[in-house]
Amino acid sequence: GAGVSQTPSNKVTEKGKYVELRCDPISGHTALYWYRQSLGQGPEFLIYFQGTGAADDSGLPNDRFFAVRPEGSVSTLKIQRTERGDSAVYLCASSLTPTGTTEAFFGQGTRLTVV
Amino acid sequence: AQKVTQAQTEISVVEKEDVTLDCVYETRDTTYYLFWYKQPPSGELVFLIRRNSFDEQNEISGRYSWNFQKSTSSFNFTITASQVVDSAVYFCALSEADSSASKIIFGSGTRLSIRP
């Protein structure tokens, strides 16, 4: 498709379980971002990839969160030992160049619910 | 530190009224970008505008207009003759104007409801 694709759209998991969220960016976009949006809040930055490498992971809340982008395209956000506080919508965005210079396109998000 | 404040949590107006969404930002950078995004009930963030800090000209796009005032660190968004389809959450955001910049800082959003 032409836009940023995120799967699954919804994920319900039990506390303590491991989850993976997938992001398929727009073809040719080298910059990829993960954000987390809690209810009633604006998106909060988690991590930024330029190509295959994580150029800025300062937003990851703790070491239970990890993300990869092994081939510079699809990215996976991994959350270990999930907690109820991890429940949120996880948004992925991609842009042709870093967002300092160009527009970022967002996916529809994955709604994660930890029960 | 960078920060974006949208003091209006919710706004409700009757269709065809004009409405202005306020945005105030803080940054130590001399060059930066400001954005507005729309988030309809479907959840996807829709890009509306990006403005460079050196360009203080107001911009109009159809019923939408933006007023950027560096002196007051504000980047307000006005919808003229509002329509029900304008109902959404609107986010103002800020980013460094740097080729290596990595993040957009979002405000907490303003929920706009347009009543028929």
DSSP A29-84: --EEEEEEE-TTS--EEEEEEETTEEEE-TT--STTEEEE-TTSS-EEEEE-S--G
pLDDT score at B75: 96
C-alpha pair distances (Å), B63 with each of B66, B68, B74: 10, 17, 20
Q: Determine, for residues A42 and B109 on separate chains, whether the beta-carbon distance falls below 8 Å.
A: yes
Q: Which residue of B has its CA nearest to A55?
A: B102
**Cβ <8 Å between B108 and A93:** no
pLDDT at B64 over 60: yes
pLDDT band at A99 (very low <50, low <70, confident <90, very high): low
- Is A81 a residue whose pLDDT tops 70? yes
Instruction: Give contacts of A59 with chain B, Cβ < 8 Å.
Output: 103
The answer to whether residue A1 scores a pLDDT higher than 90 is no
Dihedral through CA B88, CA A103, CA A75, CA B100, nearest 10? -130
Say which residues have a Cβ less than 8 Å from residue A51's Cβ, sequence separation at least 6.
A30, A69, A72
Among B72, B67, B70, residue whose Cα is nearest residue B36: B67
Smallest Cβ distance to B96: which of A55, A97, A100? Answer: A100
- For A45, name the nearest residue in chain B, comparing CA atoms only: B103
CA B43 – CA A108 distance, rounded (Å): 6
| Exposure b/e, B34-52, CB count within 10 A at least 16 = b | bbbbbbeeebbbeebbbbe
Looking at the DSSP bridge assignments, the partners of residue A50 are A31, A53
Any A CB within 8 A of B95 CB = yes
B105 and A45 within 8 Å at the Cβ level: the answer is yes
Beta-carbon count within 10 A of A9 CB: 13
The CA distance from B55 to the nearest CA of chain A, in Å, is 14
Greater pLDDT, B81 or A100: B81
- Percent of chain A at pLDDT above 90? 81
Confidence of residue A18 (pLDDT cuts 50, 70, 90): very high
pLDDT digits (tens, 9 = 90+) for B17-48: 999 999 999 998 888 889 999 999 888 899 99
What local confidence, expressed as pLDDT, does residue B66 receive? 94
- Token readout for A74 is 């699809």
Mean pLDDT along residues B5-22? 97
User: Which band of pLDDT confidence, cut at 50, 70 and 90, is reported for residue B50?
Assistant: confident
Between CA A71 and CA B103, with CA A32 as vertex, the angle to 5 degrees is 145
Token pair 């982008």 in the structure block, residue: A69
In this complex, is the C-beta atom of B17 within 8 Å of any C-beta atom belonging to chain A?
Answer: no
In angstroms, rounded to a whole number, what is the distance separating the alpha carbons of residues A104 and B12? 29
Q: Per-residue pLDDT tens for B84-115?
A: 999 999 999 998 766 555 688 999 999 999 99
User: A9: number of CA atoms within 13 Å, CB side?
Assistant: 5
pLDDT at site B11: 97
Q: What pLDDT does B99 receive?
A: 54
Q: Which residues of B touch A105 (CB under 8 A)?
A: 47
In chain B, residues with a C-beta closer than 8 Å to the C-beta of A107 are 44
- Count contacts between A and B (CB, < 8 Å): 73
Taking only Cα atoms into account, the Rg of chain B, rounded to an integer number of angstroms, comes to: 14
Q: Which residue has the higher pLDDT, B99 or A8?
A: A8
pLDDT in tens, A25-75: 999 999 999 999 999 899 999 999 989 999 889 999 999 999 999 999 999
Element (H, E) at B26: strand B24-26
Q: Say whether B43 and A33 touch across the interface (CB within 8 A).
A: no
